[in-house]
Structure 1
Amino acid sequence: MELTLREITPADQNAVAKLIRAAFASPPTNENWTEEHAREMLLEWMHFAGFLGYVALEGPTIVGVLIGRLERWEAKRFFHLKELCVWPERQHTGIGSALLGHLERQLQQRNVAKLYVQTTRESTAHGFYRSCGFVTTEQLIVLSKPIPPGKNSSNGAVTNGTANGFATPLPAATARS
């Protein structure tokens, strides 16, 4: 079946949430995503400045999704690839490569200097990205710190709330030392 690529729209959120849940619930990640959590993550990213997202369709069915955002650093623009997901039974068929190739062409038109993604060394995604020309940036590390839940914590989301009930992320702080 022919693959069609197009920009993601708000009308895609339910189908994309199902896809994200299915992709992350499958081996090797086996994560406990719900459709609600996936939809919330998608909506948060769709509201970021510089958001870009694309879906891959076979007929009317969304079989892949790619989301991320443009970022400015000094005189350059980078793209942070947040997620690239393909339905588990459709993985290894070229859908992810097609989405990534489409993204790269879009980024060239926008004069983006670099595309980056974060993944674990043990994941199958690591091998996929390396086969697509990504290289490990040895001088960078990822640091994390667990934050204990607050008194009013229900789902761990950090939001500033909105009148329409959709969560929006708080602005990121930049640390300078």
Structure 2
Amino acid sequence: MNLKYKIMNEEDFEGCAYELIEAFKEEPWNEEWTFEQAFTRIDEIMSARVSRGYVVYDGDTVVAMACGRIMTYIDFKELWIDEFSVNTLYQGKGVGSKLIEFIRNELKKEKSKISYLALNTERDYPCVSFYENNGFRASETNLVMFANVDYKGNN
């Protein structure tokens, strides 16, 4: 493996879209992303001035990526990671952990003083232990909630 860790730019979106498709098509996700859907998701996440993205190449192939947005609160900022994925052929080889380390190092260089990394993931999925091993912990106070757009007061 000849891995290169770098800050994501628009030229990386195509390779990142293919990597997202590969990373999430297997168990436990079994997601069927089209190229257009994956590319659009990455493009949307990366469309703001507060967006940040990071990518790992093995030669000319994207094998891992992360992208999200810097969010400001009263007394701190965090990088909210909207997508984090590692190609299944590269999982368990330290690529994801090194990507998180790369992200932390890049954020330390910024003047925006980001205090935290944050993300959502599915409970009881294998990725939970990966994130815990890389310093993440589950919030005891926060709860993710969602509602349908056509909410009419009925469940």
- Secondary structure of the residue aligned to 1:112 is coil
SS of the equivalent of 2:37 reads helix
Q: Note the aligned Cα RMSD (angstroms).
A: 1.2
What's 1:147 paired with?
149
Amino acid at match of 1:9: N
Tell me the residue number matched to 2:96. Answer: 96
Provide the TM-score with structure 2 as the length reference: 0.90
Q: Shift of the alpha carbon at 1:75?
A: 3.0
* Cα shift readout 1:73-124 (whole Å, capped 9, x = no counterpart): 1132111011111111111111111110001112223321111111111211
SS in 2 for 1:143: coil
Distance 2:75 2:135 in 1: 24
Q: Distance in 1 between matches of 2:33 and 2:26?
A: 10
Structure 2 residue 119 is matched with structure 1 residue 117: yes
Q: Secondary structure at the match of 1:145?
A: coil
Normalised by the length of structure 1, the TM-score is: 0.79
Q: CA deviation at 1:49?
A: 2.7
Greater CA deviation, 7-16 or 95-104? Answer: 7-16
Q: 2:55 — aligned with what?
A: 55
Aligned residues: 148
Letter of the 2:31 partner, please give it. Answer: E
- Per-residue CA deviations over 1:25-75 (Å, capped at 9, x if unaligned) read 111100121111000000101112311111111122211111111111113
Name the SS of the counterpart of 1:100 in structure 2: helix
Structure with the greater alpha carbon radius of gyration: 1
Q: Which residue of 2 aligns with 1:85?
A: 85
In 1, distance between residues paired with 2:149 and 2:21?
A: 24
Describe how 1:66-81 pairs up with structure 2 within 5 A.
Answer: 66-81=66-81
1:174 match = none
Deviations 1:127-163 (A, max 9, x none): 1101111111110000111235xxxxxxxxxxxxxxx
**SS at 2:38 equivalent:** helix
Which runs of no fewer than 5 residues in structure 1 stay unpaired?
149-177
Which letter does structure 2 place at the counterpart of 1:42? I
The residue aligned with 2:27 is 27
